[in-house]
């Protein structure tokens, strides 16, 4: 059975794909590019936001996102372990949200709701992934990366990029100086987030239950939400970040709209880079000649849940 990938694991896979063709020079350039892109976004979304001694709060959050990864990288490199990679990624979300709240000149209902929803998602992701790595012992994808200082540092740096860009809309809304009424769009955003989060959790639960049955070791799931979508967990992931963006949107203005890269980044990452593309390739390699899988492939929507097509 091919396991579904979390958003964090999609970043890992992206990094692993990079390292397959990376030299020391290209690893360093990737690190520099990641920092430059993130800081550029931070400067834009910092327009009209709070600052500390003239430094926009968004820029401070961006720098902390990377420093947090590098601080974790040092012992990870020394002990040659990736065990805490996912946990650090999830903790980074909690850290940046707390930092943004502390840097904001005032905290309103919108800020509190965003902080709560992001924290629920991050805690659930972190616990889920950490328990899995404890059970597995280690992640073999890191075996050829860990010994190389610059490649391993690049992987951690890319995680900083992932954390900051994914949080862009949330950080822009929390640190902005112009607070708005929560309004109808905010309420709709909560509903969208609940729907997306629930969809993701249910899909992951159904897949876990299916995998826990030894009889399904060589099979693929076609029941529950997986009967309507081949990747319902990814659909839920995309939808919940759209919900966060809807909640944040009324507080956004001017150059802060650059933060809309957040849900677009999530959708692009899981559908075009490493998520769906990688899993579909693996599935075809394993079951491509199986008529039942070919039938499932032809009848079932890739991302957006739809009733199975008639044969």
CA dist 233 and 271 (Å) reads 12
CA distance 25 to 31: 10
State how far the Cα of 132 lies from the Cα of 164, in Å rounded to an integer: 24
pLDDT tens-digit profile, the chain (311 residues): 445 555 555 565 555 555 555 678 888 999 999 999 999 999 999 999 999 999 999 999 999 999 999 999 999 999 988 888 888 999 999 999 999 999 999 999 999 999 999 999 999 988 877 777 677 666 666 778 888 999 999 999 999 999 999 999 999 999 999 899 999 999 999 999 999 999 999 998 998 888 888 887 788 888 999 999 999 999 999 999 999 999 999 999 999 999 999 999 999 988 887 678 888 888 888 888 888 889 998 899 999 999 988 76
- What 3-state class would DSSP assign to 176? strand
Domain ranges of the chain: 7-299
Reported pTM: 0.89
pLDDT at 177: 93
Specify the pairing of strand 51-52 against strand 55-56. antiparallel
What span, in angstroms and rounded, lies between the C-alpha atoms of 210 and 4?
12
Residue 165 has a pLDDT of: 97
For residue 311, how many C-alpha atoms fall within 13 Å in the half-sphere facing its CB?
5
* C-alpha pair distances (Å), 168 with each of 7, 16, 115, 262: 16, 24, 13, 6
Cα–Cα distance measured from residue 284 to residue 298, given in angstroms and rounded to the nearest whole number:
13
Q: How many CB atoms lie within 10 A of CB 47?
A: 16
Let me know: does 249 contact 185? Beta carbons within 8 Å: yes
* 3-state SS class at 289: coil
Phi, psi of 242 (to 5 degrees): -65, -40
- From CA 3, how far away is CA 230, in angstroms rounded? 12
Tell me the C-alpha distance between 116 and 282, whole Å: 36
Q: What is the pLDDT of residue 10?
A: 59
- Cα separation, 187 vs 182, in Å, equals 8
Residues sharing a CB contact under 8 Å with residue 28, sequence separation 6 or more, in sequence order: 150, 154
């Amino acid at each position: 059975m091919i396991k579904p990938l979390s958003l964090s694991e999609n970043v890992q896979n992206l990094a692993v794909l990079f390292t397959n063709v990376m030299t020391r020079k290209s690893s360093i350039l990737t690190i520099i590019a990641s920092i430059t892109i993130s800081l550029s976004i931070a400067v834009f979304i910092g327009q009209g936001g709070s600052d500390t001694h003239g430094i926009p709060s968004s820029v401070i959050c961006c720098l902390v996102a990377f420093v947090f990864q590098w601080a974790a990288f040092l012992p990870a490199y020394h002990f040659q372990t990736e065990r805490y990679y996912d946990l650090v990624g999830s903790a980074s979300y909690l850290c940046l949200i707390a930092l943004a709240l502390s840097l904001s000149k005032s905290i309103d209902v919108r800020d509190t709701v965003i902080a709560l929803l992001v924290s629920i998602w991050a805690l659930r992701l972190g616990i889920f992934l950490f328990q899995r790595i404890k059970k597995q012992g280690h992640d073999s994808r890191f075996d050829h990366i860990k010994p190389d200082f610059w490649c391993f540092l690049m992987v951690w740096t890319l995680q900083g990029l992932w954390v900051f860009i994914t949080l862009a809309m949330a950080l822009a809304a929390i640190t902005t100086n112009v607070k708005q009424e929560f309004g109808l769009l905010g309420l709709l955003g909560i509903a969208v987030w609940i729907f997306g989060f629930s969809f993701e959790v249910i899909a992951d639960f159904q897949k876990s239950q299916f995998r826990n049955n030894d009889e399904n070791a060589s099979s693929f799931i076609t029941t529950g939400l997986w009967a309507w979508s081949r990747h319902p967990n990814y659909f839920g992931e995309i939808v919940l970040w759209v919900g966060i963006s809807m909640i944040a949107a009324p507080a956004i203005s001017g150059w802060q709209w650059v933060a809309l890269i957040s849900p677009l980044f999530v959708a692009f990452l899981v559908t075009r880079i490493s998520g769906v593309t990688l899993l579909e390739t693996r599935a075809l390699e394993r079951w491509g000649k199986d008529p039942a899988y070919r039938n499932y492939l032809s009848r079932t929507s890739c991302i957006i849940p739809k009733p199975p097509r008639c044969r």
